[in-house]
Amino acid sequence: MTDLRRTNEPVEELQSEVSARILTEADCERILQRAHAMARGGGDTSVTITSWWQGEIRWGRNRVTSSTDRQNHVVMVSRMMPNGVRGTAQTNQLDDESLEGAVRAAERISGFGSVVGRGVGYYPPLPSYERPTSAIWSDATYGLTDEARGEVARALIAPAEDKGMLSAGYLEVRAAARAVLSTAFPELRNGKHAFWEQPYIRWTQAQCSTTVRNPAGTASGWAGGSSYDWGRLDAPAFAERALQKCLAAQNPVSLEPGRYTVILEPQAVCDLLELLTRTFMREHPENGNPGPWRLVYDDALGLWRSKLGLKVADERVTISHDFTDPDLGIVASTVEEPRSVTWIERGILKSLGHLLKTDIQSLDGWHSRRYAVGYRMSGGDTSLEEMIRTTRRGLLVTRLSNLRGLDVESLLATGLTRDGLWLIEDGKITKAVNNFRFTESPLFVLNNIEQLGEPVRVFRPTRGEGEQLTPAVVPPIKVRDFSFTSLVGAV
């Protein structure tokens, strides 16, 4: 049987076909040398290169609706003139005429700043950091051709079609490279060529999700995953899981809203934690930034006290970020020193801010700030089956959607359960349940944990700085007193 997680052809045989998808390290260096040769008037030339390729396929109602294969190379040329003023321009064409046009434009822009002196438009070279290596490249992802993607889609559709159900889904594979080079570095550093202001890095990413519904539109099942490595995504298992959830979700009953013991599958945990993890990247509460980590105002010191060092979650909860975590596969920022950080350790708030908060110089002189975070949450050794077996009465939740914050201080939010909700009675799943609207805070949930399972990687297509995925590894959890406030008609 064919392993649909991988291309049917060896990556080596595909090399001639896919070698032009992204620029190589040698390609980047040649572009710098060409741009430097075109420069006039002295000074230094720096080049920032982003090269990416993306292949995707979509399907709905058991038929493929679109299939694309795209790529782009963006070259930003900066000219630091002898007067100390920098001008930048960019192009996505690699021919000599286009590259020279970008060089001339950068020189003209740098001339505009020279009339007011060095202080306007001057940006010093980026500092050099030793970057940790992590598993962020996969030949299986890079070698997944459009034909192979079509085979995967057909294999995901077939089980649902055989049962008279309707399948819809999305598959994306992507590869990218990034480099910052400059003639301002004539010496060798760390054994690398003198031109490398920031090292050449490349990465891959893959994601796949599928939804199965019955023709009447009254039952739905979902499954999906994302990773840098396509070989880690078991697409046939996604199809089977989504189909079985759809079949089991037919003929749901309605329950009264209220507080229930709830088992959140890993995907639902990740959906809820989106409200929490973004707060780790905000400015420090001492600056007056409102949020869950601001405590009280200290009149004597004239600043806000934070909750750093205080217990904010169950002592079994640790939430951290590690560039070198092999299950995450995170691309290090090019302009900030990468470091690991633990925000919550054994329930205690340990750190806030920094990490992937990045200032990126744009063409008009303003700065854009992007926030992104990949993370891991600690877990336990209780299986999902054991959680169900030990529940007298509760609900099993597949995932959450349409989350909307209601209060920045408590992180109270509202949203919907989706794609499978089941009633548990006396340790067994007894029937499907119509979806609820919930009104709950992730902080409340993390303080009402009864059991934790093994952390797994989940579907999280959020993109951060550099347009890479920001992955998450989270466990299933069983919590008490989860608040459902009303019934909804969503499936």
| Residue that the structure tokens 């030793």 belong to | 130
Q: Given this model, what pLDDT does residue 145 score?
A: 92
Tokens of 322: 């590690």
Burial zone of 227 (CB within 10 Å; 0-12 exposed, 13-18 middle, 19+ buried): buried
Following CA atoms 110, 362, 124, 48 in sequence, which dihedral angle do they give, to the nearest 10 degrees?
A: -90
Ranges of beta strands (E only) in 61-165 are 63-80, 86-91
Q: Which amino acid is at 308?
A: L
Domain with CATH 3.30.2290.10 in the chain: 11-245
Give the tens place of pLDDT for each residue, 403-430: 999 999 999 999 999 999 999 999 999 9
CB hemisphere CA count around 64 (13 angstroms)? 16
Q: Which among 421, 391, 398, 374 has a CA at the least distance from the CA of 238?
A: 398
What is the reported pLDDT for 355?
47
Give the predicted TM-score (pTM) of the model. Answer: 0.83
pLDDT at res. 127: 53
* pLDDT value at residue 122: 46
Beta strands in 315-363 (DSSP E): 319-321, 341-345, 348-349, 358-361
Quick check: helix, strand or coil at residue 231?
helix
- C-alpha–C-alpha distance, residues 273 and 444, integer Å: 11
CATH number for the domain formed by residue range(s) 11-245: 3.30.2290.10
Which residue stretches of the chain have pLDDT < 70? 1-19, 112-134, 185-198, 282-288, 331-338, 353-372, 462-468
